[in-house]
């Protein structure tokens, strides 16, 4: 499917002069990204300084990808033109098919594309985004939906609107992406095909998947068994009301929750309960946090946060509060003030400064009883500011997760620290990560 993400030439069918129209936005995005792109419309001679064509039949070049942005009633005739011109990869943005009850039109579309070996993503989708090739077929303007920078997360999402909102939010939080794929009604290419492709994508470290229904459960199971990369999955349509909503959204039969959960657990997919949790976990995989064990040490300058963290770890499924070795305890007792609580949590109290964090980390990082350090920094105290993060960032001997409530995302992104606002979120994500590696 590389022609969907790295096409040498593209036809956008349904381009308009109106800047807010779907075809215009996509055409402009591709033009700005320096793709060879042909605007197809019978209603204009040129748009944005580029000659327009009334149909793909007028284009003499070999088109590798066609993007259809016309009314549903015109889609079939456009596909016939594409087939005549031997265009075999088509992204159909157009809606108006099974999601609105027009099952007959979708079946006709499926039958024609299957018969003529045309690969289709869509219909009824938001589009595609590839941070590495600069392909941007998302029809929402950049000023309304920010695009993320390069990274290792790929997001396969059946819902376009949901995917777009998440993409915009994560761009603001500097979560790096490889690819975003909205696949809509999945008349041809479905979640299983996309997972198979992303498993071979060198830029993808972790795959996030939002599904409302799985088109072919047997195919899904067989493909996922072969995938070596972590897959984080959120299933929509778990309740009766949610299932009905899914049917009217993308025409998906959502199915029984227990059946899907059983499949996910057999495949060691990381099952999450929310979009927020999905990308919390994805961030850990993207930063290549790998734990050889589950023994967690909490280092904090605030007692309350330490208590909450201890509770969260003890109540988690896969994590364990560890006990510091006696030698490490002795060094800490010798050098730290008597007000410090030498244990787990290791509470270096509210007057902790950069040097106290440095000393504590030097010791706990060398403790064989510690697999991962959860570092809590409340730099609202008088003795700390954000410069303490530079001290913490130098320690990488063992996995480390940071909780820095109220931190500046711009400051953190330059330090390459894995950071959360609250301990509950960090522990929840870490628990999912350890659970995944325990089952491998």
Neighbours of 362 (CB within 10 A): 12
Q: Are residues 393 and 428 in the same domain?
A: yes
pTM comes to 0.90
User: 282 and 309 share a domain?
Assistant: no
Q: Is 397 contained in some domain?
A: yes
Which two three-digit tokens encode residue 226?
């072969």
Q: In this structure, is residue 131 part of a structural domain?
A: no
Q: Is residue 136 part of a domain?
A: no
Residue 355 backbone dihedrals phi, psi, to 5 degrees = -65, -35
Per the structure, the complete domain to which residue 342 belongs is given by: 289-439
Q: Residue 32: which CATH number?
A: 3.40.50.720
* Alpha-carbon separation of residue 275 from 167, 306, 388, 419 (angstroms): 11, 26, 31, 17
139 domain residue, yes or no: no
Dihedral, CA of residue 126, residue 129, residue 134 and residue 139, to nearest 10: 10
What are the Cα distances from residue 114, in Å, to 66, 77, 89? 16, 16, 12
Same domain, 305 and 402: yes
Same domain, 28 and 105: yes
Cβ-Cβ contacts under 8 Å for 107 (sequence gap 6 or more): none
Residues 423 and 297 in one domain: yes
409 and 380 in one domain? Answer: yes
Q: Which residues face 181 on adjacent strands?
A: 128, 156
Same domain, residue pair 275 and 296: no
Question: Which string of DSSP letters, residue by residue, matches 381-431?
Answer: STT--TTHHHHHHT--SS-EEEE-TT--HHHHHTTT--EESSHHHHHHHHH
329 and 405 part of one domain: yes
Asked whether residue 432 falls in the same domain as residue 294, the answer is yes
**Residue 146: HSE in the Cβ half-sphere, 13 Å Cα cutoff:** 14
Nearest to 301 by CA among 345, 364, 337: 345
Q: Can you give the pLDDT of all 440 residues of the chain as single tens digits?
A: 899 999 999 999 999 999 999 999 999 999 999 999 999 999 999 999 999 999 999 999 999 999 999 999 999 999 999 999 999 999 999 999 999 999 999 999 999 999 999 999 999 999 999 999 999 999 999 999 999 999 999 999 988 888 888 888 888 777 889 999 999 999 999 999 999 999 999 999 999 999 988 888 899 999 999 999 999 999 987 655 544 544 444 444 445 678 888 889 999 999 999 999 999 999 999 999 988 899 999 999 999 999 999 999 999 999 999 999 999 999 999 999 999 999 999 999 999 999 999 999 999 999 999 999 999 999 888 888 888 999 999 998 899 999 998 777 677 777 888 899 999 999 999 999 999 999 98
Separation CA 363–CA 329 (nearest Å): 9
Evaluate whether residue 168 is within a structural domain.
Answer: yes
Q: Which of 288, 322, 343 is the last residue of a domain?
A: 288
Domain membership of residue 36 (yes or no) is: yes
Is the same domain home to 369 and 302? yes
Contact indicator for 216, 190 with CB cutoff of 8 Å: yes
- Residues paired with residue 295 on neighbouring β-strands, in sequence order: 320
């Amino acid at each position: 499917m590389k022609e969907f993400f790295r096409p040498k030439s593209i036809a956008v069918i349904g381009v308009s002069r109106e800047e807010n129209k779907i075809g215009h936005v996509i055409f402009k995005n591709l033009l700005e990204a320096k793709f060879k792109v042909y605007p197809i419309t019978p209603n204009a001679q040129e748009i944005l300084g580029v000659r327009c064509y009334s149909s793909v039949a007028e284009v003499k070049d070999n088109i590798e990808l066609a993007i259809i942005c016309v009314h549903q009633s015109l889609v079939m005739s456009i596909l016939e033109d594409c087939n005549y011109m031997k265009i075999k990869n088509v992204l159909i943005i157009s809606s108006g098919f099974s999601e609105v009850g027009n099952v007959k039109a979708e079946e006709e579309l499926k039958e024609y594309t299957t018969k003529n070996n045309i690969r289709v993503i869509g219909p009824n989708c938001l589009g595609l985004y590839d941070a590495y090739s600069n392909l941007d077929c998302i029809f929402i303007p950049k000023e309304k939906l920010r695009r993320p920078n390069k990274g290792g997360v790929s997001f396969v999402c059946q819902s376009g609107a949901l995917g777009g909102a998440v993409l915009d939010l994560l761009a603001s939080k500097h979560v790096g992406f490889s690819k975003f794929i909205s696949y809509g009604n999945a008349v041809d290419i479905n979640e299983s095909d996309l997972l198979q492709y992303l498993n071979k994508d060198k830029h993808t470290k972790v795959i996030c998947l939002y599904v409302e229904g799985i088109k072919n459960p047997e195919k899904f199971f067989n493909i996922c068994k072969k995938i070596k990369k972590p897959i984080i999955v959120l299933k929509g349509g778990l309740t009766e009301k949610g299932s009905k909503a899914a049917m009217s959204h993308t025409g998906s039969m959502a199915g029984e929750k227990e059946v899907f959960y059983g499949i996910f657990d057999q495949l060691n997919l990381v099952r999450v309960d929310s979009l927020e949790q999905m990308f919390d976990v994805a961030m850990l995989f993207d930063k290549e946090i790998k734990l050889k064990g589950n023994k967690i040490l909490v280092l904090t300058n605030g007692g309350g946060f330490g208590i909450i963290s201890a509770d969260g770890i003890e109540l988690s499924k896969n994590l364990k509060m560890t006990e510091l070795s006696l030698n490490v305890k002795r060094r800490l007792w010798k050098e730290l003030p008597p007000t410090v609580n030498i244990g787990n949590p290791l509470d270096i109290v509210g007057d902790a400064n950069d040097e106290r964090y440095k000393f504590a980390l030097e010791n706990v990082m060398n403790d064989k009883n510690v697999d991962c350090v959860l570092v809590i920094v409340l730099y609202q105290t008088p003795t700390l500011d954000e410069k303490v993060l530079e001290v913490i960032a130098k320690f990488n001997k063992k996995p480390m997760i940071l909780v820095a409530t109220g931190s500046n995302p711009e400051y953190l992104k330059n330090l390459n620290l894995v950071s959360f606002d609250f301990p509950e979120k960090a522990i929840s994500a870490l628990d999912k990560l350890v659970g995944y590696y325990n089952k491998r």
